[in-house]
Amino acid sequence: TQLLEQSPQFLSIQEGENLTVYCNSSSVFSSLQWYRQEPGEGPVLLVTVVTGGEVKKLKRLTFQFGDARKDSSLHITAAQPGDTGLYLCAGPSLGMLTFGGGTRLMVKP
């Protein structure tokens, strides 16, 4: 079974601060996805990283896939209250998605 571990589990920061969320596994994944989930809603896909060492940027969000394709990180620059939510990493495994436990981010104004 491929497992994904996310850290930290909880993060509470002030508006304008930077933060990094980590997603680690002992297994190699063909790709990794990052989702954001708001209360009462399903996860929404932010990005898919495919190539080892790949870096993708989405406005203030920067996603990186580790060279060995076992880990990934999400960096948010100048966080805003609208970034508040549950951030999930997920990897495909025999068709279904294996999710990490999530990082719950709260950005205070």
Asked if residue 102 binds another protein (CB under 8 A), the reply is yes
Question: Which CB atom, from 38 or from 67, has the smaller least distance to another protein?
Answer: 38
Pairing of strands 61-65, 55-58: antiparallel
Asked if residue 104 binds another protein (CB under 8 A), the reply is yes
SS3 category, 83:
helix
CA 79 to the chain's CA centroid: 15
Sheet holding 71-76, edge to edge: 5-7, 19-24, 71-76, 61-65, 55-58
Residues 34-53, mask of contacts with another protein (x by CB under 8 A): ------xxxxxx--x-x---
Asked if residue 78 binds another protein (CB under 8 A), the reply is no
Question: Maximum CA pair distance of the chain?
Answer: 42
Residue 3 CB, shortest distance to another protein, in Å, is 11
Contact set with another protein (CB under 8 A): 4, 6, 30-31, 40-45, 48, 50, 88, 90, 92, 94-102, 104
